[in-house]
Structure 1
Amino acid sequence: MIHQYKNNGYNIVLDVNSGSVHVVDDMVYDIIGLYENNTLEQITDALRDRYSVQDIKEAYEEIDELKEAGQLFTEDIYEPYIDNFKDRPTVVKALCLHIAHDCNLACKYCFAEEGEYHGRRALMSYEVGKKALDFLVANSGSRKNLEVDFFGGEPTMNFEVVKQLVEYGRSIEEANNKKFRFTLTTNGILLNDEILDFANKEMSNIVLSIDGRKEINDLMRPTRNNHGSSYDIIMPKFKKVAESRNQMNYYVRGTFTHNNLDFSEDVLHLADEGFEQISVEPVVAQPTDSYAIREEDIPFLCEQYDILAKEIIKRKKAGKGFNFFHFMIDINGGPCVAKRLSGCGSGCEYLAVTPWGDFYPCHQFVGNEDFLMGNVDDGIVRPDIRDMFKNSNVYSKEKCKNCFAKFYCSGGCAANSYNFHGNINDAYDVGCELQKKRIECAIMIRAAMAEEE
């Protein structure tokens, strides 16, 4: 499978199955577009008015050589492997601990209903968290590195338990030949020096929630009872976090909505404020929500990604670059085969744990009783749910099979698929279009920067 596109003056050819990327001139670009379904003679006849016959012949031979070398028009080696992939052992690698089903902000787009997740406000006890870590260790097989994200709601509202669980996790690492990688996701309202010092010592990554410009952030992320601007409260703290971690191992994460379709301005605002690790993502909302991204918004949003990509190149070349999460792809290596085929591993390798110890496939399924998989006392009691997620992959989704982006997005988000189509083997169409554009921009950026190397 070949994907061809033009972006920012570059003619880019992606060989989907091998992952090979080629930046070519107009003639080669046109020949590749005709190569699969035409003979050399037919291609020559079609292009002789634009290019010399000799040049066409030489370029055609070079394409032949690239095909022989496995860099163009390669066969799909993954689909025949899919049955073995489905039979892989289930190993839990990561937990999302809902340390607090409560929040001190009232974000309008929050899928967790201001931290409540369709249920009651609650804080996770140390005992429940301890059992969750024990479950992770017991079900992680021979895997040494384990991921635990302290999530909410707002996890700093229960920070004493966070500290206790980190201490417990560290205490069982050596005996079990494990290493915990803890992450904290926070809105920053309660962030202080004590929390930051602890996080810098124990948290491998910190995710800082902010949407960008003050007016945009405060519109969608108001404080409860309108007690001041959340932007004004958190911005100085977040700058301190970024600097204290040497601009590494954190990122500011925002959400853009129909209210700020010009989201590139929010990304650049965060960059101008000194942040070097930035993620601003499209909201996922029902069409009835006033802030939802609509199908008619897609062309404008694609232009925004182009604007952002060009600005990133400009800043990188000037030595003032920053990383935009959705433009970060590894062309040379990329994710392992399992991740290419099935993505985040929700429901089998990755689970969410509620404050009272229930297991769900991920944080976005929490509160939907149809996806309640078990609990910290009994373990997984619904292996059928686990197997449903385990068998979900880019070949089980009709929309993904012939999509050039499938090995980059790995089939997209299962929760989004379910929320829009009622099953996890579909795809959220608006999200797909934006994802494809992000991948095209990411590859173009790599092509542009390769000229500097």
Structure 2
Amino acid sequence: MQATIYMGSKCNLNCAYCHREEDERETGLSANLLEQLKKQDNLTVKFMGGEPTLYMDEIKQVVAALPKAKFAICTNGVNLEAYLPFFKKHDFLVCISFDGGKNSERGFDPFTKLIDYPKLAVSTTLHHGHTDLRSIITSFAAKERIIGRQLSFFPHFAHATNDANDKYALSLGDADYILKQYKNMVGSFMEQRFKYGVLNFRYEGMFTGLLKRYQANFDYGETYCVNKNLQKYNTKGESVTCLYIRDEKLTKNWKAEQQRVLDDNFPECKYCPVYFMCGGGCLKSKSRDIECYINKELFSWFKAEYEKWKGASYAD
């Protein structure tokens, strides 16, 4: 079970495409949250923000309260060096935001010197004006020579949720370009892996991301953000449908509640052949039609290709 905690809205960067909504007031860590987490078995706790390293006192409280849990954090890397000893002591998976390519929307480069840390991942945001995957991957290779370790590429899409970040929404042209690149790169990865036993590290993250979606097997009412293996919380201990726009709280009947949301707003999801991979997509996005188009095309293609290779006699 994974519990993802939204620590708060404070951030030391100001990425223009970010879709988090500010908290009117931040209440700090609650005893209710800790009690809920203590009830979970085989728990992984993931810390998100804002920038979660601005809430390290609260993070340390959670870690101390859950000695058997595993931990992960998603950070922009500004404070990384200061807290690496703590992360190493408690075996954190550290995921750093880095967009690569010629993109400079974040205004900070986390990869300017050697990073001595074994469990490192990278999250990359694709948005309008930033969809050239080959350019991004090339910039990753250059960074590897600086930090002294390999970087895998785990892309995700920016979600346009308000007027301020609307210009970063993917267009139909962006969608087709992304689909073409994904099919070429992941298709190449699967052929090399299953036919020749060669693992292409550059595309492994893209393949792994799709494989996890294929294996998710969402039931109707489970979404990508809240499902049988993942719950999202604010620091009060309230379960929410979305970390970034926390306007809907969920109860123990969360699955039925999310079914009603889908029935009322996105009835086409109920009979979609790739819902088991998609989980309804981003329920808060203003550009949901484009994201839905990408998911239908990409997931349908991946399902067919993966099952073809998986069923072949030389597949592992």
**TM-score normalised to structure 2 length:** 0.76
Alignment CA distance shift 1:267-1:133 (3 Å) = farther
Distance 2:276 2:303 in 1: 14
Distance 1:352 1:409 in 2: 21
- CA RMSD for the aligned pairs? 3.7
User: Which residue number in structure 2 is paired with residue 414 of structure 1?
Assistant: 283
Alignment CA distance shift 1:290-1:238 (3 Å) = farther
* Deviation at residue 153 of structure 1 after TM alignment: 1.0
Residues 351, 361 of structure 1: 8 Å contact kept? yes
Alignment CA distance shift 1:184-1:102 (3 Å) = same
User: Which residue number in structure 2 is paired with residue 28 of structure 1?
Assistant: none
Distance 1:360 1:328 in 2: 23
The structure whose Rg is larger is 1
AA partner of residue 346 (structure 1):
V
User: Which residue number in structure 2 is paired with residue 106 of structure 1?
Assistant: 14
User: Which residue number in structure 2 is paired with residue 361 of structure 1?
Assistant: 241
* Deviation at residue 447 of structure 1 after TM alignment: 4.6
Secondary structure in structure 2 of the residue aligned to 1:258: coil
Secondary structure in structure 2 of the residue aligned to 1:207: strand
**TM-score normalised to structure 1 length:** 0.56
Residue 123 of structure 2, aligned match among 248, 253, 265 = 253
Distance 1:269 1:315 in 2: 23
1:133-160 CA-to-partner distances (Å, cap 9, x unmatched) read 212335x5xxx22232211111112223
Distance 1:406 1:118 in 2: 30
Alignment CA distance shift 1:260-1:314 (3 Å) = farther
Distance 2:295 2:232 in 1: 24
Are 1:343 and 2:223 matched, yes or no?
yes
Are 1:119 and 2:23 matched, yes or no?
yes
Alignment CA distance shift 1:302-1:347 (3 Å) = closer
1:153-168 to 2 correspondences below 5 Å: 153-168=50-65
Distance 2:23 2:221 in 1: 34
Greater relative contact order: 1 or 2 (C-alpha under 8 angstroms, separation 6 or more)? 2
* Deviation at residue 238 of structure 1 after TM alignment: 8.2
- Greater than 6 Å deviation, 4+ residue runs: 383-386
User: Which residue number in structure 2 is paired with residue 309 of structure 1?
Assistant: 186
Distance 1:320 1:337 in 2: 29
AA partner of residue 282 (structure 2):
C
1:279-303 CA-to-partner distances (Å, cap 9, x unmatched) read 1112111596222211243222221
Distance 2:100 2:307 in 1: 25
User: Which residue number in structure 1 is paired with residue 305 of structure 2?
Assistant: 444
Residue 221 of structure 1, aligned match among 106, 111, 119 = 106
1:61-84 CA-to-partner distances (Å, cap 9, x unmatched) read xxxxxxxxxxxxxxxxxxxxxxxx
1:20-419 to 2 correspondences below 5 Å: 93-112=1-20, 117-120=21-24, 122=26, 125=28, 128-138=29-39, 140=40, 144-170=41-67, 179-192=68-81, 195-213=83-101, 215-216=102-103, 218=104, 220-222=105-107, 230-231=108-109, 234-236=110-112, 240-241=116-117, 244-245=118-119, 250-270=120-140, 273=144, 275-285=150-160, 289-310=166-187, 312-313=189-190, 319-322=199-202, 323-325=204-206, 327-330=208-211, 334-335=215-216, 338=219, 342-344=222-224, 346=226, 350-354=231-235, 359-366=239-246, 368=247, 371-372=248-249, 387-389=256-258, 397-416=266-285, 419=286
Alignment CA distance shift 1:264-1:398 (3 Å) = farther
1:382-436 CA-to-partner distances (Å, cap 9, x unmatched) read x787741265679x953234433222223323333xx56xxxxxxx221122123
Identity over aligned residues, as a percent? 21
Alignment CA distance shift 1:320-1:303 (3 Å) = closer
1:16-54 CA-to-partner distances (Å, cap 9, x unmatched) read xxxxxxxxxxxxxxxxxxxxxxxxxxxxxxxxxxxxxxx
Q: Which runs of no fewer than 5 residues in structure 2 stay unpaired?
A: none
User: Which residue number in structure 2 is paired with residue 434 of structure 1?
Assistant: 294
* Deviation at residue 168 of structure 1 after TM alignment: 1.6
Distance 1:446 1:118 in 2: 43
Distance 2:272 2:183 in 1: 21
Alignment CA distance shift 1:240-1:211 (3 Å) = farther
Residues 257, 282 of structure 1: 8 Å contact kept? yes
